[in-house]
Amino acid sequence: MLSFIVYYIAHNPDVKKKMLKEIDSIFQDDKMRPITKDDFYSLSYCEAIVKEVARIHPVIHLLTRYIDKPNKVAEYHWPADSLFLINVKSVHNNDDYWEEPNKFNPDRWIVKNFEPKKGSFLM
């Protein structure tokens, strides 16, 4: 995933500029000091970059879920011992959930009160 992060930063100078501005604002004159827990939680744009890369290029493409009891999911009745395969890449790139899903846009994560639709981001 790190290689994709580097790729997208290198190919999106505006993203790189915003990221460096955020880092500079936190570390100010002491660029060599160790990162603290508070610093980590203050790097919201850096977090947005990581989430956006994970959305476009998920670390895993398939998740499995198993039910051991009969259950009703999506208006269907499923027997015990059913196995579900969830295509994470398809969910993350579905235009029913994401505006311009194939576009790298970390700013989508910065919008005030933004939360992805339930079940649309699996990280």
* DSSP assignment of 29-57: T-TTSPPPHHHHHH-HHHHHHHHHHHHHS
Consecutive H or E run containing 65: strand 62-67
Of the candidates 63, 46, 52, 47, the one whose C-alpha atom is nearest the C-alpha of residue 4 is: 52
pLDDT band at 64 (very low <50, low <70, confident <90, very high): very high
Task: State how far the Cα of 29 lies from the Cα of 49, in Å rounded to an integer.
Answer: 24
Averaged over 74-86, what is the pLDDT?
A: 92
Q: Model's pTM, two decimal places?
A: 0.86
Tell me which amino acid residue 94 is.
Answer: N
Q: Which two tokens stand for residue 95?
A: 């235009």
Q: What is the mean pLDDT of residues 92-110?
A: 94
Domain borders along the chain are 2-109
